[in-house]
């Protein structure tokens, strides 16, 4: 049977429209998906929104809107923002979707049947920002490290609990036996160390949150965020695509994806995903990107300034997937000018002009993706080292520039030699265009068109130079 690939991103919380920090992850996933698709693999790409919970309910109230109307608007807007960056999921899932609600309730019943759900009193420190209880060890100076601006609350209520502790040994064995399961290595080590401290059972319902999926058989309780949100990956998997090949998520969600989700799946009788990859965060001018700090950049703003492919390049290329990275408008403008307007744009403009001036005609076939996506490039793409794959392509761009500087086609009088040199340069640029396809779906098509028509066609700049 043919292998199917299933890639997911985290689903974004619907209290606000996404910013480039969220979009970073989606563009990375989109590049990975396009790469696999270009190799002829059968791929399904899922992303979406997490729409339930107290924080969304509060945001809707702040806007004097019914929660459903509020999340409808956020969902529409988020999809627009992602489309602007060329992110093309096969399904944009919403946790208010009917099939998801059904999947969550069925999942709950399976876990309950296993004897892994029980009702008990619970009291603990609760961060409304994260919508989760925190242990003393999670807090920094008595506050949530992700939401230091919010006061942590002491909550007490009757909740349903999931027997997470029961799966401690299973998780240890599983993680040790599957090196690829949690990536990167630093996250894997962190998760094993967390497991080493022992797991406590976890509350999976809320008493006073009406905006959510009701617990089957108990109308007083609503299913809590993780037992709703994580299950979207199952809801969204078409027949034959489970288990997922990759769950891509931000590092603040690592514990839930790497330790809670596998325990939930094991309890309900499902196969575990192949890889959970926790990526680092983007900061802006050294600061966390956040609404409360007022330093948000929306994906559309990035695209308005740098184009779709430019925005994709600036996000994916700015850092290693695993690490944190910092951006600023100034840095992005510099990179855009140096790598896109000058580097790639300049090369294409220069070579197409040389071809036109030569008045030579040559037909060069665009190579297949699988022909050129080999060796170092392929390894980097398969390992999710996307910015290194870009670095590899940019070395090729520089090499063609050097080649032209060496051969000086503008001084060559011999037609055969000129044809030979130009043909070599065009062949290499077409290879570059093909390697760029997952990153630059639009630009790579433009480059192919320029060099593969009846004659090389005059081109307007691929990327306009930006004023500083």
Question: Which residues lie near Zn ion (CB under 5 A)?
Answer: 127, 129-130, 144, 146-147
Rounded to the nearest 5 degrees, what angle is found at the Cα of 429, between the Cα atoms of 381 and 343? 80
Question: For the CA atoms of 187, 192, 196, 202, what is the dihedral angle to 10 degrees?
Answer: 70
Q: How far is CA 85 from the centre of its chain?
A: 12
Catalytic position from the list 144, 187, 355, 459: 144
Options 100, 127, 134, 247, the catalytic residue = 127
Output the CA–CA distances (angstroms, integers) from residue 425 to 339, 347, 431, in the order listed. 19, 10, 10
Q: How far is the CB of 134 from Zn ion (least distance, A)?
A: 7
100 is catalytic: no
DSSP 349: H
Q: Which C-beta is closer to Zn ion: that of 206 or that of 266?
A: 206
Q: Output 281 or 329, the one with its CB closest to Zn ion.
A: 281
Comparison of 128 and 382: residue with beta carbon closer to Zn ion:
128
Catalytic residue among 22, 52, 55, 247: 22
Do the Cβ atoms of 267 and 31 come closer than 8 Å?
A: no
Which residue lies nearer to Zn ion by CB, 127 or 237?
Answer: 127
List the one residue out of 331, 216, 239, 336 whose CA is nearest residue 283: 331
CA 265/CA 164 separation, integer angstroms: 11
Q: Which is nearer to Zn ion, 289 or 355 (CB)?
A: 289
The answer to whether the CB of 228 falls within 8 A of the CB of 212 is yes
Please say if 385 is a catalytic residue: no
Active site residue 22: yes
Q: Shortest Cβ distance from residue 70 to Zn ion (Å)?
A: 21
- Burial letters for 116-140: b for 16+ Cβ neighbours within 10 Å, e otherwise? bbeeeebebbbbbbbbbbbeeebee
On the 0-12 / 13-18 / 19+ scale of CB atoms within 10 A, 150 is: middle
Alpha-carbon gap, residue 60 to 65, rounded angstroms: 5
DSSP-derived 3-state class of residue 70: helix
Q: Which value, to the nearest 10 degrees, does the dihedral of the CA atoms of residues 176, 180, 182, 184 take?
A: 120
Separation between Cα atoms, residue 63 and residue 61, nearest integer Å = 5
Catalytic residue from among 52, 112, 130, 380: 130
Residue 300 structure tokens: 């559309």
Segments in 409-460 forming alpha helices (H): 415-436, 441-452
- Residue 187 bears catalytic tag: no
Helix, strand, coil share of the chain (percent; to 5): 50, 15, 35
Q: Does the annotation mark 459 as catalytic?
A: no
CB of 306 to Zn ion, least distance (A): 32
Please state, in angstroms and rounded to a whole number, the distance separating the CA atoms of residues 231 and 48: 12
Q: For residues 54 and 111, which CB has a smaller minimum distance to Zn ion in the complex?
A: 54
In angstroms, what is the minimal distance from the CB of 352 to Zn ion? 53
Residue 257 annotated to the active site: no
Considering the candidates 172, 288, 353, 446, report the single residue annotated as catalytic.
288
Nearer to Zn ion, 147 or 158 (CB): 147
Least distance (Å) between residue 130 CB and Zn ion: 3
Q: Calculate ∠ Cα 134-137-138, nearest 5°.
A: 45
Q: 355 an active-site residue? A: no
19, 36, 247, 319: which is the annotated catalytic residue? 19
127 is catalytic: yes
- How many whole angstroms separate alpha carbon 258 and alpha carbon 187? 9
As measured in angstroms, the least distance from the Cβ of 124 to Zn ion is 13
To the nearest whole angstrom, how small is the minimum distance from the Cβ of residue 155 to Zn ion?
14
Name which of 268, 240, 251, 135 is nearest 182 in CA terms.
251
- From the CB of 252, what's the least distance to Zn ion, in Å? 9
Residue closer to Zn ion (CB basis): 34 or 134: 134
Catalytic residue among 102, 151, 173, 291: 291
Query: Which residues are designated catalytic?
Result: 19, 22, 127, 130, 144, 147, 288, 291
């Amino acid at each position: 049977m043919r292998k199917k690939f299933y890639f997911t991103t985290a689903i974004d919380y619907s209290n606000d429209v996404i910013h480039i920090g969220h979009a970073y992850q989606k563009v990375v996933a989109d590049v990975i998906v396009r790469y696999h698709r270009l190799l002829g693999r059968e791929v399904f790409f899922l992303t979406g929104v997490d729409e339930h919970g107290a924080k969304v309910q509060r945001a809707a109230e702040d806007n004097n809107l019914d929660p459903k109307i509020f999340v409808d608007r956020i969902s529409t807007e988020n999809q627009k923002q992602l489309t602007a960056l060329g992110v093309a999921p096969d399904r944009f899932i919403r946790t208010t979707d009917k099939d998801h609600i059904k999947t969550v309730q069925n999942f709950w019943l399976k876990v309950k049947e296993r004897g892994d759900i029980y009702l008990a009193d619970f009291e603990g420190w609760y961060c409304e920002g994260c919508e989760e209880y925190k242990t003393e060890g999670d807090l920094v100076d008595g506050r949530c490290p992700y939401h230091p601006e919010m006061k942590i609350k002491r909550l007490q209520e009757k909740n349903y609990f999931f027997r997470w502790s029961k799966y401690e040994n299973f998780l240890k064995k599983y993680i040790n036996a599957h090196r690829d399961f949690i990536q990167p290595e630093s996250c894997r080590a962190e998760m094993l160390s967390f497991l080493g401290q022992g797991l406590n059972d976890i509350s999976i319902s809320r008493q006073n949150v009406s905006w959510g999926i009701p617990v089957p058989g108990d109308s007083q309780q609503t299913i809590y965020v993780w037992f709703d949100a994580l299950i979207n990956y199952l809801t969204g998997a078409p027949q034959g695509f489970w288990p997922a090949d990759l769950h891509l998520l931000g590092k603040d969600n690592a514990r839930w994806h790497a330790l809670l989700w596998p325990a939930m799946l094991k309890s309900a009788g499902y196969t575990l995903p192949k890889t959970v990859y926790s990526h680092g965060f983007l900061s802006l001018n050294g600061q966390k990107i956040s609404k409360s700090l007022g330093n948000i950049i929306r994906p559309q703003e990035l695209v308005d300034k740098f184009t779709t492919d430019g925005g994709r390049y600036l996000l994916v290329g700015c850092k290693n997937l695993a690490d944190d990275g910092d951006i600023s408008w100034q840095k992005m403008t510099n990179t855009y000018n140096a790598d896109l307007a000058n580097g790639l744009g300049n090369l294409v403009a220069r070579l197409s002009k040389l071809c036109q001036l030569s008045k030579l005609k040559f037909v060069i076939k665009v190579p297949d993706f699988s022909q050129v996506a080999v060796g170092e490039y392929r390894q980097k793409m398969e390992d999710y080292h996307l910015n290194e794959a870009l670095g590899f392509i940019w070395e090729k761009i520089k090499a063609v520039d050097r080649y032209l500087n060496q051969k000086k086609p503008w001084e060559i009088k011999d037609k055969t030699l000129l044809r030979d040199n130009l043909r070599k340069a065009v062949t290499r640029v077409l290879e570059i265009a093909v390697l760029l396809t997952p990153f630059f779906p639009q630009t790579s098509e433009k480059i192919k068109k320029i060099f593969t028509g009846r004659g090389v066609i005059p081109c307007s700049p691929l990327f306009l130079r930006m004023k500083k």
